Amino acid sequence: MKDKHRTTRIGSHELSPRSLMMGYGYDPRLSEGSLKPPIFLTSTFVFDSAADGKRFFEGITGLRPGGAEGLVYGRFNGPDQEILEDRLALWEGAEEAAVFSTGMSAITTALMAHVRAGDAIVHSGPLYAATEKLIDAVFGRYDVTYENFAASAPLDEVRALLERTREDRRIGAIYLESPANPTNELVDIEGIARIRDDLYGDDPERPLIMVDNTFLGPVYQQPTRNGADLSIYSLTKYIGGHSDLVAGGVVGSNDALLPIMTLRNTIGTITDPHTSWMLLRSLETVALRMEKAESNARKVCEFLRGHPKVERVGYLGFLDPDSEQGRIYARHCSGAGSTFSLILKGGEAESFRFLDALQLVKLAVSLGGTESLASHPAAMTHLSVPAERKRWLGIGDNLVRISIGIEDSDDLIADFEQALQAV
Ligand SMILES: *Cc1c(COP(=O)(O)O)cnc(C)c1O
């Protein structure tokens, strides 16, 4: 019965993360029997002995492998953060997870830990706008260059790009985002992992494959099971799920995460105890919320697809199973999620009339919350993207981005129907 809170099976029966989210990694005996973990509001932790303090610091600073052995100081770790990390890793069956103050601080810390001055980052495009800016404007100042390929580019193109880049510079990271925002194109993570392994074998300089899994994870896609070394999350979106916090996470192997944890200890990009506690509560319902949102989105997209004012719906659930994208979907994804693009007949004026007429659905950027949101990428999130790149990315003035929540699906359809009438 020792460590009952860390068992992941009953006899030979393997427990699902859905069951483990309620108790895994927390021992009530250490907190007066409290069923739920308290929020540990403290900046520092007391050592039993000076020798313990020394041992803990050896782990924190990376002098000894294996990471932190005990709690030390609020910039390094804390009980709420550690329980959250243990539970987050379970969804991908991964060894380790690290949590961060925002999705962007997770991405920044992961890239900084693995990329050196003089390297190139090879990435799929488009990426979340702030990630593109980070790689271009911030890493660019430290002599890090980048090469990018379209998310749906054929694999021989990706291979050629990796080979060409490698002749010039060390590749510091292969950074992918799938599905891409706002085009919903899928990247062949397995295919790219095979190419990387083929090119590098067990060369210690082999670049890690990092995948931003915010749109479908952790329920509908688990990139570390498809050959990625690291799966990165904006926990602000589906995992937080209530549009009331910002946070980030990185999931993967101990080896890939150790330099990231060590850098996080130095620069302090960890999330706080209160946000961690909120995320523990969110993780208990993430599967329920994502499943309801995905079935709602399916119904809404079926309605929108047939509407005379709609040109097209960019929704993963409508991929032709015989297409290349459809085959990637079948190998990587177990559901279509609830974020999609609605392409209206017309331009900005029609899109704005549609957005202004919505009543139940709120006009806001972000996604993955319990409430449905709609926005206009060309005029909002992607406003600063040059016109030519917008065209290349397929971000037109008639594209509306929609994230479906957990409302009643008939109510959502009624709202979209009246808003389309107003166009
Ligand atoms: C929101 C988002 C991010 C950034 O996350 P923050 O929590 O806002 O820092 C990164 N990638 C994707 C795909 C996102 O949607």
Residues 238 and 154 in one domain: yes
Q: Is residue 42 part of a domain?
A: no
234 lines ligand 1 (CB under 6 A): yes
pLDDT digits 0-9 by tens, 358-381: 999 999 999 999 999 999 999 998
Residues 240 and 115 in one domain: yes
Q: What is the mean pLDDT of residues 241-245?
A: 97
Query: Does 2 score more than 50 pLDDT?
Result: no
Q: Are 298 and 317 in contact (CB under 8 A)?
A: yes
Residues 276 and 339 in one domain: no
pLDDT value of residue 69: 84
pTM over 0.85: yes
Q: Is residue 65 part of a domain?
A: no
Nearest-5° Cα angle at 405, 403 to 309: 50
Residues 275 and 296 in one domain: no
Low-confidence winner among 60-64, 80-84, 269-273, 274-278 (lowest mean pLDDT): 60-64
* Residue 392 pLDDT level (bands cut at 50, 70, 90): confident
Q: Is residue 27 part of a domain?
A: no
Token duo for residue 234: 């904006």
Q: What is the mean pLDDT of residues 403-411?
A: 98
Residues 316 and 262 in one domain: no
Q: What is the mean pLDDT of residues 68-73?
A: 88
Query: Does 394 score more than 90 pLDDT?
Result: no
Give residue 308's domain range: 287-420
Sheet holding 120-125, edge to edge: 96-100, 248-252, 230-234, 208-212, 171-177, 120-125, 145-150
Query: Does 409 score more than 70 pLDDT?
Result: yes
CA distance 282 to 285: 6
| CATH assignment at residue 394 | 3.90.1150.10
Take atom 11 of ligand 1 and give the residue whose Cα is closest: 128
Residue 271: CB partners within 8 Å, gap ≥ 6? 81, 84, 99, 100, 101, 235, 247, 248, 279
178 lines ligand 1 (CB under 6 A): no
103 lines ligand 1 (CB under 6 A): yes
Query: Does 65 score more than 80 pLDDT?
Result: no
Residue 320 class from Cβ within 10 Å (0-12 exposed, 13-18 middle, 19+ buried)? exposed
pLDDT value of residue 293: 98
Residues 291 and 254 in one domain: no
Token duo for residue 158: 């990706």
Take atom 6 of ligand 1 and give the residue whose Cα is closest: 103
Q: Are 112 and 262 in contact (CB under 8 A)?
A: no
Residues 237 and 357 in one domain: no
CB atoms within 10 A of CB 192: 25
Q: Are 256 and 228 in contact (CB under 8 A)?
A: no
| CATH assignment at residue 231 | 3.40.640.10
**Percent of residues in the chain assigned helix, strand, coil, to nearest 5:** 45, 15, 40
Residues 253 and 104 in one domain: yes
Residues 322 and 276 in one domain: no
338 lines ligand 1 (CB under 6 A): no
Amino acid identity of 146? Y
CA distances from 317 to 42, 329, 388 (A): 46, 9, 29
CA distance 68 to 61: 8
> Which ligand 1 atom is at minimum distance from the Cα of 367?
15
Q: Is residue 343 part of a domain?
A: yes
Q: Which of 234, 254, 283 is the last residue of a domain?
A: 283
CA distance 422 to 416: 10
pLDDT value of residue 63: 82
pLDDT value of residue 320: 97
Q: What is the mean pLDDT of residues 28-48?
A: 96
Residues 295 and 402 in one domain: yes
* Residue 418 pLDDT level (bands cut at 50, 70, 90): very high
Q: What is the mean pLDDT of residues 339-363?
A: 97
Residues 176 and 97 in one domain: yes
Residue 410: CB partners within 8 Å, gap ≥ 6? none
pLDDT value of residue 391: 87
% of the chain residues with pLDDT over 90: 90
Q: What is the mean pLDDT of residues 38-44?
A: 97
234 Cα–ligand 1 center, Å:
5
Number of domains within the chain: 2
* Residue 100 pLDDT level (bands cut at 50, 70, 90): very high
Q: Which of 227, 248, 283 is the last residue of a domain?
A: 283
Q: Which of 283, 298, 319 is the last residue of a domain?
A: 283
Residues 331 and 352 in one domain: yes
* Residue 1 pLDDT level (bands cut at 50, 70, 90): very low
6 vs 236, residue with greater confidence = 236
